């Protein structure tokens, strides 16, 4: 028991280095090392999927013009050639050709000559009864199985209403287009407006002196209207219809009832007497964005996405009085001690303690639809009324002047008979005339209200944005900002062009030019008729795209058309009275400043050139290859020195250039047209040249001229080659129509320096070789020097 204690070996434990109380730990150490040791966790594997991608055409290295391969026969004879631009873009596996079009070129399905038509509408019919599908196993035919697998089209247009100056034509659109002789439609009078009500079940036809409601071809209701002048325009937002007379009288029609008991139209003549001036245009709008509200932000706060929760981090449990004691030296150096910064951080819950409704941050708030009436008057006032109360909620003065921001005017117009009203009547005579207004919800879920107005020969586009600072009760808490665009409505007139009839031109100006559409080849927006037709697209990304469609000249009227023979297409009348049934080409992307198509090459493109005679594109590309040898020159002889390295050594890469022909028909490489350049040889220029030739009637022939340079290194003098190629027509191979073109090498010889530039001068070839410029003449497939 009296034995001395045995000597124990000192062990370094974590308790000797770390304080047992968290409050005693230095805050900096706690920030760096954490509050406790992290337990080992199993690694989580992730799988990534592409949700969206943005198209990129840069960097545009080279660019050339070419003729489009697919152009409908109706547009081939146009005097104004519609060309396309092809640029090189990308590097390596992302290399591609970008095909750019300035205007939209529709694919014409068929054309009918129907002169005298001034307007048209497409409407849907009653929903067809669902028939039980036939079992494909009974027939045993694989073709019938494919047909059974195809889903029938829904929401197809059943009728096409064509309006003439004194009559109307009703066409039934199914597998074939046939004229209806006996139906409930009015054919003895011109049609002013037509559309669908009751979620597409009923058809509304508005004539100058009456309104008809139909269920398919069966007439349900006929309302004669005698308002002192004929009806000239209409606007529809189910179940509300607003029609306008020549004198500016507005009539409100509302669909009431249910299909079982029978639906009827209720007629109302609203008294819009807030401003005493003639009404020039009206538009009824169904708001699905929630921006059109008269309540304050606190009362009706819009749905805001909640901020995402911070990454889960375990909270640090500290005592309330856990302020750290600093040393005297620290107080002298850094000042008095402050509260522990760790205590200032909010307590963060772990992922297990997070609320279960965290997914609600991405939920979409349901917005109840509201209806609004836009009214444009002769004195330049724009009014917005709520439906069906007809309460004035927004008023803009001098609307046709194109203000940058449309602000609600707080002061109303002066009482009638005052001096200010007389002055306003005199001033509006010199104010631009509002021909048409349209309000439509664009973008995803129609959340971007856009106001379009055709004022004289200009187009105004405004977008609504919330503005809750409005103090006036009962008025809309929003404003409209002007959007910039490059749409030009005026007709291009030439000196030799004969002046048109003023009456016809005035009648054309009074027609409806703005046509909203949805799901035409997957796009929604507005089509603008007129002398300079335009497509206005807005996809889910929210950018407004304006693309012209000049290929068919002036467009008089337009209507979307969804049919078995033309799914998601459209109809339009041109100046010649031709009705075209067309579709938008789907291989192009219209959500871009110009319609664009990207052709992947999977290699780096350097040059692209269009050969007019063969209507093909010549593309120069390169691919990196590992290089394991060097070139040594002993006089004129080349020796290759092989570099031996271990298996882990990474050899440098060297670009291997090649030339290939592409067909614009399918944008595929033409077989047997590849020309590979030598090793270490870089292509520096590619040019279409017209050289003198005795074998043609014009004395000139087109060739492809190439200039190259051998890049052996700084110790070797640079030299290059001039290569002249000719694209010839041959008999195509069976089953390969693209093999009708082949490349013939006319000339290929090494020069005394690098060939950096090529051009043509009156049939001679001009080349920049080293520090000199040479002029060559092609004779018997040889270049003969003329001057330098």
pLDDT exceeds cutoff 90 at 623: yes
* Phi, psi for residue 507 in degrees, rounded to 5: -65, -35
C-alpha distance from residue 288 to each of 237, 285, 372 (Å): 12, 10, 11
At residue 355 the predicted structure's pLDDT band, cuts being 50, 70 and 90, is very low
- Which own/partner contact pairs does 667-675 have at CB distance under 8 Å and 24+ positions apart? 667/97, 667/99, 667/599, 668/738, 670/616, 670/738, 670/739, 670/741, 671/733, 671/736, 671/738, 671/739, 672/739, 672/742, 673/741, 673/742, 673/743, 675/725, 675/743, 675/745
Cis peptide before 239 (omega within 30 of 0): yes
* 108-133 pLDDT per residue, tens: 999 999 988 999 999 998 876 655 55
* pLDDT, position 31: 66
The mean pLDDT value for 608-629 works out to 93
Could you list the beta-strand ranges (E) of 67-106: 84-89, 96-101
Specify whether the CB–CB gap between 463 and 549 falls below 8 A. no
Half-sphere exposure of 39 (CA within 13 A, CB side): 3
- At 469, the pLDDT band (50, 70, 90 cuts) reads confident
Please tell me the predicted confidence (pLDDT) of residue 474.
85
Residue 420 main-chain phi, psi, to 5 deg: -65, -35
The predicted-structure confidence for 191-211, as pLDDT tens digits, reads as follows: 999 999 999 899 999 999 999
In which band, very low, low, confident or very high, does the pLDDT at 416 lie, cut at 50, 70 and 90? very low
Which has the minimum average pLDDT: 341-345, 440-444, 449-453? 341-345
Judge contact between 742 and 730, C-beta under 8 A: yes
237 contacts 230 by C-beta, under 8 angstroms: no
pLDDT band for position 305 (cuts 50, 70, 90):
very low
Separation of alpha carbons 708 and 107, rounded Å:
42
Q: What is the mean pLDDT of residues 744-763?
A: 93
Q: What pLDDT is attached to residue 223?
A: 93
Top pLDDT among 559 and 552 is at 559
The tens digit of pLDDT for each residue in 262-278 reads 789 999 999 887 778 89
Write out the H or E segment, with its range, that includes residue 707.
strand 700-710
pLDDT at 438 over 90: yes
Residue 327 pLDDT exceeds 90: no
Which neighbouring-strand residues pair with 64?
A: 86
Reported as a single tens digit per residue, the pLDDT across 502-550 is 777 778 888 899 999 999 999 999 999 999 999 999 988 889 999 999 9
Is residue 683 exposed (0-12), middle (13-18) or buried (19+ Cβ within 10 Å)?
buried
As a three-state string, the secondary structure of 262-298 is CCEEEEECCCCCCCCCCEEEEEEEEECCCCCCCCCCC
| % of residues, the chain, pLDDT over 90 | 52
Residue 413: pLDDT band (50, 70, 90) is very low
Q: Is the pTM of the predicted complex or chain greater than 0.75?
A: yes
Q: What is the pLDDT of residue 271?
A: 85
Long-range contacts of residues 781-786, Cβ cutoff 8 Å, at least 24 apart: 781/746, 781/747, 782/747, 783/722, 783/724, 783/747, 783/749
| 427 — pLDDT class (breaks 50, 70, 90) | low
Percentage of residues of the chain with pLDDT beyond 70: 79
- Mind giving me the DSSP string for 503-534? HHHHHHHTS--EEEEEEETTEEEEEE-BSS-E
Residue 428's pLDDT is: 64
Domains in the chain, CATH or no CATH each: 65-105+502-596 (no CATH), 155-269 (2.40.128), 275-298+369-484 (no CATH), 603-787 (2.130.10.10)
Following CA atoms 467, 469, 470, 474 in sequence, which dihedral angle do they give, to the nearest 10 degrees?
Answer: 90
Q: How many CB atoms lie within 10 A of CB 378?
A: 17
pLDDT of residue 81: 72
Closest CA to 400 of 464, 459, 481, 448: 459
For the cut 70, the answer to whether the pLDDT of residue 20 exceeds it is: no
Can you tell me the distance from the alpha carbon of 323 to that of 769, in angstroms, rounded to the nearest whole number? 80
Q: Confidence band (pLDDT; 50, 70, 90) for 717?
A: confident
Neighbours of 690 (CB within 10 A): 15
């Amino acid at each position: 028991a009296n034995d001395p204690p045995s000597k124990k070996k000192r062990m370094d434990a974590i308790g000797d280095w770390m304080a047992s109380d968290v409050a005693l730990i230095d805050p900096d150490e706690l920030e760096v090392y954490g509050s406790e040791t992290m337990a080992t966790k199993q690694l989580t594997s992730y799988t990534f999927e592409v949700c969206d991608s943005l198209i990129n055409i840069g960097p545009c290295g080279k660019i050339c013009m070419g003729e489009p391969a697919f152009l409908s026969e109706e547009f081939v004879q146009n005097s104004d050639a519609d060309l396309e631009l092809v640029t090189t873009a990308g590097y390596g596996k992302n290399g591609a050709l970008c095909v750019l079009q300035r205007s939209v070129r529709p694919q014409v399905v068929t054309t009918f000559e129907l002169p005298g038509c001034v307007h048209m509408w497409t409407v849907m019919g009653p929903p067809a009864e669902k028939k039980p599908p036939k079992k494909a196993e009974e027939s045993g035919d694989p073709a019938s199985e494919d047909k059974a697998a195809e889903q029938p089209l829904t929401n197809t247009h059943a009728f096409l209403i064509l309006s003439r100056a004194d009559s109307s034509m009703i066409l039934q659109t199914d597998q074939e287009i046939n004229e209806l002789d006996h139906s409930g439609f009015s054919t003895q009078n011109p049609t002013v407006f037509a559309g669908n009500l009751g979620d597409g079940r009923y058809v509304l036809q508005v004539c100058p002196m009456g309104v008809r409601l139909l269920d398919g071809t069966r007439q349900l209701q006929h309302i004669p209207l005698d308002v002192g002048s004929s009806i000239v325009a209409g606007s529809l937002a189910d179940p509300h219809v607003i029609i306008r007379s020549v004198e500016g009288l507005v009539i409100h029609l509302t669909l009431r009832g249910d299909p079982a008991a029978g639906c009827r139209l209720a007629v109302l003549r609203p008294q819009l007497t807030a401003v005493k001036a003639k009404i020039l245009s009206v538009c009824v709008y169904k708001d699905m964005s929630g921006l059109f509200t008269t309540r304050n932000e606190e009362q009706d706060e819009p749905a805001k996405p909640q901020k995402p929760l911070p990454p889960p981090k375990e909270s640090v449990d500290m005592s309330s009085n856990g302020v750290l004691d600093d040393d005297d030296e620290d107080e002298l150096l850094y000042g008095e001690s402050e509260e522990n910064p760790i205590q200032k951080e909010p307590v963060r819950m772990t992922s297990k303690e997070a609320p279960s409704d965290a997914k609600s941050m991405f939920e979409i708030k349901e917005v109840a639809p509201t209806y609004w009436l836009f009214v444009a008057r002769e004195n330049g006032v724009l009014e917005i009324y709520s439906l069906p109360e007809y309460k004035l909620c927004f008023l803009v003065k001098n609307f046709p002047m194109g203000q940058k921001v449309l602000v609600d005017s707080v002061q109303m117009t002066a009482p009638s008979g005052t001096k200010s009203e007389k002055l306003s009547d005199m001033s509006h005579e010199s104010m631009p005339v509002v021909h048409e207004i349209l309000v439509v919800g664009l973008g995803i879920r129609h959340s971007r209200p856009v106001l379009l107005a055709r004022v004289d020969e200009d187009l105004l586009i405004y977008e609504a944005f919330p503005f809750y600072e409005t103090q006036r009760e009962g008025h809309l808490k929003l404003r409209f900002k002007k959007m910039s665009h490059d749409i030009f409505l005026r007709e291009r007139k030439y000196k030799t062009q004969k002046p048109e009839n003023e009456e016809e031109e005035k009648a054309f100006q009074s027609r409806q030019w703005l046509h909203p559409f949805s799901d035409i080849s997957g796009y929604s927006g507005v089509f603008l008729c007129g002398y300079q037709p335009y497509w206005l697209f807005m996809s889910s990304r929210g950018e407004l795209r304006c693309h012209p469609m000049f290929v068919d000249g002036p467009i008089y009227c337009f209507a979307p058309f969804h049919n078995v023979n033309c799914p998601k297409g459209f109809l339009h009348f041109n100046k010649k009275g031709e009705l075209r049934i067309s579709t938008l080409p789907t291989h192009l992307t219209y959500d871009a400043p110009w319609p664009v198509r990207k052709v992947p090459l999977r290699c780096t493109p350097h040059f692209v050139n269009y050969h007019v005679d063969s209507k093909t594109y010549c593309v120069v590309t390169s691919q990196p290859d590992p290089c394991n040898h060097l070139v040594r020159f002993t006089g004129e002889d080349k020796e290759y020195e092989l570099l031996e390295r271990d298996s882990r050594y990474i050899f440098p890469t060297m670009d291997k250039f090649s030339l290939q022909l592409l067909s614009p028909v399918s944008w595929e490489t033409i077989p047997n047209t590849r020309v590979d350049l030598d090793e270490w040889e870089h292509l520096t220029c590619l040019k279409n040249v017209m050289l003198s030739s005795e074998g043609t009637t014009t004395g000139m022939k087109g060739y492809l001229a190439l200039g190259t340079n051998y890049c052996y290194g700084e110790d070797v003098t640079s030299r290059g080659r001039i290569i002249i190629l000719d694209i010839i027509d041959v008999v195509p191979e069976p089953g390969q129509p693209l093999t009708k073109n082949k490349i013939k090498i006319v000339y290929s010889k090494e020069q005394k320096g690098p060939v950096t530039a090529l051009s043509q001068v009156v049939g001679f070839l001009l080349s920049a070789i080293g520090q000199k410029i040479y002029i060559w003449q092609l004779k018997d497939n040889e270049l003969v020097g003329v001057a330098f």
